[in-house]
Amino acid sequence: MAVQASLRKLRTIWVERISREMAAGEGTRAGFSEQLERFYDLLEQTIITGDMAWLDPILYDWGRSPTETNLEQADYYVSFILNRMIALTLEISRDLLKPKEALELLAAVIPVLTHSLGVVIRYEMETRVAHISKELGAVQEKLQVLDQNKSKFISVAAHELKTPLTLIEGYTSMMADFVQTDSQAQMRSYLTGVNTGVLRLREIIDDMIDVSLIDNNLLTLNIQPMWISHLLDLARNEFKKSIAERKQSLTVNDFEGSDLMIYGDSERLYQALNNVITNAIKYTPDRGQITIDGRLLPGFIEITVKDTGIGISAEDQALIFEKFGQLGKEDLHSSSKIKFKGGGPGLGLSITRGVIEAHGGTIWVESPGYDEVKLPGSTFHILLPTRTEPTNPVMLKFFGSLEQKMETDLRGEENPPTDDPPA
């Protein structure tokens, strides 16, 4: 009873002092005073019953009340009010009550206020986490839209560039056919240079289109029976000139599984392998070595492309497979695909990863690190599933029909038709 009497004695001055200190304007102070009166009523009920649940509704309202401005500025306004409430309760009790009454009141009130502070802090933190999560979600949506716009730009730009490029390529070819005499050899040289630039530009545009297809999950595969050894033979022949120009050596080893018939898109897989070998040539100094090897694993064929080049730092080993993830300096970019550290648009390895993953495989790189003096080199690993049956629905239908026809033909041979009527 003594505690209740002390509470009633302090009520008016308690509400007045806290509202005067914490609320600036008269209008704000009136609303704030109403909230304090409500809190004081619930505080009394809590002390009388000993049940902290009485305060939960108002604490929940207060804890969830921060405005967008409070949240953006990281203001913990309500918990600050509870802290001041505790301090002012101590001061008012000391000023208005006898020492014994003050001690009894504070022994009953301070644990309740401290509990209230903890509850409010928890609610404020939950509200802030929800606000931050909402902001992160909005940022993520903006980034997704930006990435989609970037993909759309690549797709539109590539297709828009392809039309005039086709015209330039056609007219250049006709001009080259027209200029055949020795007296116009210099003109033929100019046209050859133009044609070389056109072909390189076409390769870049085709890469842009492929990146757009991969980003939008529109890459289609022409699944057919194929052999890895055939791709390696093509690569050995195609890169002879580039290897000779850079005075490098290219070794292609026979390995178990290379002559195994599997199903895949040989054209796309060769494109992927070509990009990896081109990368090895580009980042290996003159007279360096490039070795293509592999092995047969349970359910997979692994192809490795190892070079004696400058290597790749650990933090960049994932970056190189991202779009525009080239590591060379921009001022080193050139139209040459094999110039040492020549750079490029940074699309080749991204396309390679997309093609390999579309086949159900994976690609990664291992390297001790980047060093242009010690030349630690890099090893690219390509893992392809050894599918011995077609997985493309069209191919499955075709081979299914073919198999059914063969079975029908065989049954026809085993049971040749006769003129006898059926039994």
Helix axis angle, 56-63 to 26-49, nearest 10°:
140
Write down all domains in the chain, each with its CATH number in brackets: 1-218 (no CATH), 224-404 (3.30.565.10)
Any bridge partners for residue 383, and if so which? Answer: 302, 362
pLDDT at 238 over 70: yes
CB atoms within 10 A of CB 46: 21
Quick: pLDDT tens for 283-336: 999 999 999 999 999 999 999 999 999 999 998 898 899 877 665 554 444 546
- Indicate the pLDDT class of residue 421, thresholds 50, 70 and 90: very low
Q: Answer whether 375's CB lies under 8 Å from 310's CB.
A: yes
Quick: pLDDT tens for 328-364: 554 444 546 678 887 667 788 999 999 999 999 999 9
Mean per-residue pLDDT over the chain, rounded: 81
**Residue 281, C-beta contacts closer than 8 angstroms, at least 6 positions apart:** 239, 242, 243, 246, 248, 290, 307, 338
d(CA 335, CA 281): 15
